[in-house]
Amino acid sequence: MKTSKKSRGFTKSIISLCKSASLLLMAAALTVSMGSSLTEIPDKAFAADSTGSEATAEMREITTMELVKEMGIGINLGNTLEATGSWINGTSVTNYETAWGSPVITEEMIKGYANEGFGVLRIPVAWSNMMGEDYTINPSYLGRAKEVVDWALDSDMYVILNIHWDGGWFEKFPSEKEESMYKYTRIWTQLTEAFKNYDDHLMFESFNEEGVWPDLWNFYGSDDGKEEAYALLNEINQRFVDIVRGSGGNNKQRHLLVGGYVTDIEKTVDELYKLPNDPQNRCAVSVHYYTPATFAILEEDASWGTARTEWGTDEDFAELNRLMDMVKTRFIDNGIPVIMGEFGVATKNKTQEMIRLYLSSVNSAAYSRGITPVLWDVTNLHYNRDIFEMNDKVLLEQLMAVKANSAPTASITSYQDGQAINLNSPQIDWTFLDADDADVQAAYQVQASSNGWETVDVDSGELAGASGSYTLNGLADGDWSIRVRAKDNRGAWSEWAYRSLGINTVAPTLNVVLDKETLWPANNKLVKVTATVETDVELSQVELLSITPSIAVGSYESMVQEADFGTFDTEFKLLAKKAKGKEPLVYTITYKAIDQAGNVTEADVTVTVPHDQSGK
Positions annotated as catalytic residues are: 209, 342
Q: Would you tell me the crossing angle of helices 393-401 and 352-367 to the nearest 10 degrees?
A: 20
Q: Which helix (H) or strand (E) holds 606?
A: strand 600-609
SS3 labels along 528-581: EEEEEEEECCCEEEEEEEEEEECCCCCCHHHHEECCCCCCCCCEEEEEECCCCC
Cα 195 from chain centroid? 16
- The number of CA neighbours under 13 Å toward the Cβ of 139 is 6
Q: Give Cβ neighbours of residue 97 (< 8 Å, ≥ 6 apart).
A: 80, 81, 83, 104, 105, 144
CA distances 255 to 200, 498, 505, Å, are 7, 17, 34
Strand intervals (E) in 436-566 = 441-449, 458-459, 463-464, 469-471, 478-488, 497-503, 510-514, 525-535, 539-549, 560-561
Q: Distance between CA 372 and CA 366 in Å, rounded?
A: 7
Sheet with 585-595: strands ordered across: 539-549, 585-595, 600-609
Rounded to the nearest 10°, the torsion over CA 108, 109, 115, 121 is: -130
How far apart CA 215 and CA 229 sit, in angstroms, is 10
CB 79 within 8 A of CB 380: no
The DSSP secondary structure of 311-364, one letter per residue, reads: ---HHHHHHHHHHHHHHHHHTGGGT--EEEEEE----TTS-HHHHHHHHHHHHH
Q: Measuring CA to CA, which residue among 143, 121, 122, 258 is closest to residue 191?
A: 143
